[in-house]
């Protein structure tokens, strides 16, 4: 009898141990498919190639050669720099698919917001940053590294994937200029991943705002500031009064406004006869931007007239708003890929623009995917390596998931906060919005 009890207790122990083991195994993260160290070393190579001063030629040649080594059917560097100035061009490559599936676009940009010349890399187990004298350039060389590593892994492991179209653009930080100059007629893909998001792997961007740039030039009259200031008309004073009558910063949860630069004046003893303001309006509601632009122009004209001056006000639309439905196939593929990694995807929006805005004007719906980059556009910028690796794994699985529609259609996601295509049929990108033209001088 005692022997039977011992056997029973032993069996219970075995069962409990097996259950705990299964539970622990289920809690383990998905086995990585990418070569994380190789991807990290590639990223470090990329950030050491300066591309922050309209000088992308070297990095274009670097990634074009990588694409050739990875077996691209074709690799082409366009002549966008002839139109935009500077050097380099958009790099475009095609890869044959291993399965019958619609083609998929993969995109990241090669330029950085400022120069990384003289960059000094500081690497720890958890992050990569600089010594603080330059930016890192993870925006968006982390995205470039992810795409190249995904392509290499697909090839090495002979993994199933759709036909792929890769566009590494230039001059994104100057207002998406490279993507705008790219001949989108070359693309067959109707969906894509723009790997140019932020640091958190579970946040994917499905919405971005309309963006308008403005330039305002006030003209006054120069005079000696001490001997006869009465004869002058102070252009800086006009600009200051106009700025004071307008709200700036975050105007509401959908809209921002900013004065970015002010240029004017010649010397402290001269009444300034000219000042130039450059700024922007952004909103997820295109009509709101149009309203702000009209109001700003009216204020500037009124102030100039009151001070017997003149003003020129010009607006240019940098990009249209983008809204990708949570039901779009590319969103479902990404959500399903993240779910495989044990991540509950959060569909959200960004106040910034990306090449996704440019591609959307050609009917290509792109999801903006995170990279693990943090504090971008600052000397404190860093690449969070665990997030970088997770983002790369998710991009790889999204590409593979594109070939499995049954898995894609069954995936769910946390809903986007705010309006979506369900609230506004067709989305804002279907609505033509024309910025006000130049204001006549007064």
Helix crossing, 36-47 with 385-401: angle to 10°? 110
Model pLDDT for residues 173-198, shown as the tens digit of each residue: 999 999 999 999 999 999 999 999 88
Token pair in block for residue 125: 């187990």
User: Shortest CA distance to 34 belongs to which of 391, 404, 401?
Assistant: 391
User: Shortest CA distance to 397 belongs to which of 328, 332, 327, 324?
Assistant: 332
How high is the pLDDT of residue 333? 96
Q: Does position 74 have pLDDT exceeding 50, yes or no?
A: yes
How high is the pLDDT of residue 14? 38
How high is the pLDDT of residue 30? 74
How high is the pLDDT of residue 404? 72
Predicted TM-score of the model (pTM): 0.82
Hey, which residues are catalytic here? 111, 172
Helix (H, G, I), strand (E, B) or coil at 107: strand
Give me the domains of the chain, ranges plus CATH numbers: 36-209+321-411 (3.40.630.10), 211-319 (3.30.70.360)
How high is the pLDDT of residue 5? 52
Model pLDDT for residues 248-273, shown as the tens digit of each residue: 999 999 999 999 999 999 999 999 99
Q: Which of 23-32, 209-218, 244-253 has the lowest mean pLDDT?
A: 23-32
User: Shortest CA distance to 32 belongs to which of 153, 163, 178, 182?
Assistant: 153
How high is the pLDDT of residue 430? 29
């Amino acid at each position: 009898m005692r022997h039977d009890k011992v056997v029973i207790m032993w069996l219970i122990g075995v069962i409990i141990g097996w259950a705990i083991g299964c539970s622990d195994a289920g809690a383990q993260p998905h086995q990585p498919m990418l070569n994380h160290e190789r991807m990290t070393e590639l990223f470090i190579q990329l950030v050491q190639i300066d591309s922050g001063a309209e000088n992308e030629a070297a990095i274009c040649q670097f990634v074009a050669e990588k694409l050739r080594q990875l077996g691209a059917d074709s690799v082409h560097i366009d002549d966008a720099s002839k139109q935009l100035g500077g050097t380099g061009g958009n790099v475009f490559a095609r890869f044959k698919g291993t399965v019958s599936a619609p083609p998929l676009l993969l995109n990241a940009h090669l330029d950085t917001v400022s120069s990384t010349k003289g960059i000094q890399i500081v690497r720890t187990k958890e992050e990569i940053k600089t010594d603080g004298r330059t930016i890192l350039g993870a925006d968006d060389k982390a995205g470039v590294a992810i795409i190249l590593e995904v392509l290499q892994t697909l090839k090495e492991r002979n993994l199933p994937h759709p036909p792929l179209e890769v566009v590494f653009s230039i001059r994104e930080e100057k207002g998406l200029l490279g993507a705008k100059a790219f001949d989108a007629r070359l693309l067959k893909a109707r969906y894509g991943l723009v790997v140019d998001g932020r640091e958190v792997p579970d946040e994917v961007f499905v919405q971005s705002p309309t963006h308008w740039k403005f330039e305002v030039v006030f003209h006054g009259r120069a005079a000696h500031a001490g001997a006869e200031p009465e004869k002058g008309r102070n252009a800086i004073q006009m600009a200051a009064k106009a700025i004071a009558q307008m709200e700036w910063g975050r105007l509401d949860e959908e809209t921002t406004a900013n004065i970015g630069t002010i240029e004017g004046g010649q010397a402290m003893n001269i009444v300034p006869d000219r000042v130039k303001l450059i700024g922007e309006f952004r909103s997820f509601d295109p009509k709101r931007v149009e309203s702000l632009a009209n109001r700003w122009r009216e204020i500037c004209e009124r102030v100039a007239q009151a001070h017997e001056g003149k003003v020129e006000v010009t607006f240019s639309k940098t990009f249209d708003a983008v809204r990708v439905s949570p039901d779009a196939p590319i969103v479902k593929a990404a959500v399903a890929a993240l779910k495989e990694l044990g991540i509950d995807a959060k569909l959200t929006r960004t106040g910034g623009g990306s090449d996704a805005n440019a591609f959307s004007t050609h009917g290509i719906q792109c999801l903006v995917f995170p990279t693990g980059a943090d504090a971008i556009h600052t000397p404190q910028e860093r690449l969070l390596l665990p997030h970088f690796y997770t983002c790369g794994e998710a991009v790889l699985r999204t590409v593979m998931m594109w070939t499995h529609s049954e898995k894609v259609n069954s995936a769910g996601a946390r809903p986007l906060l705010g309006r979506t295509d369900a609230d506004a049929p067709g989305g804002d990108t279907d609505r033509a919005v024309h910025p006000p033209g130049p204001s006549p001088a007064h």
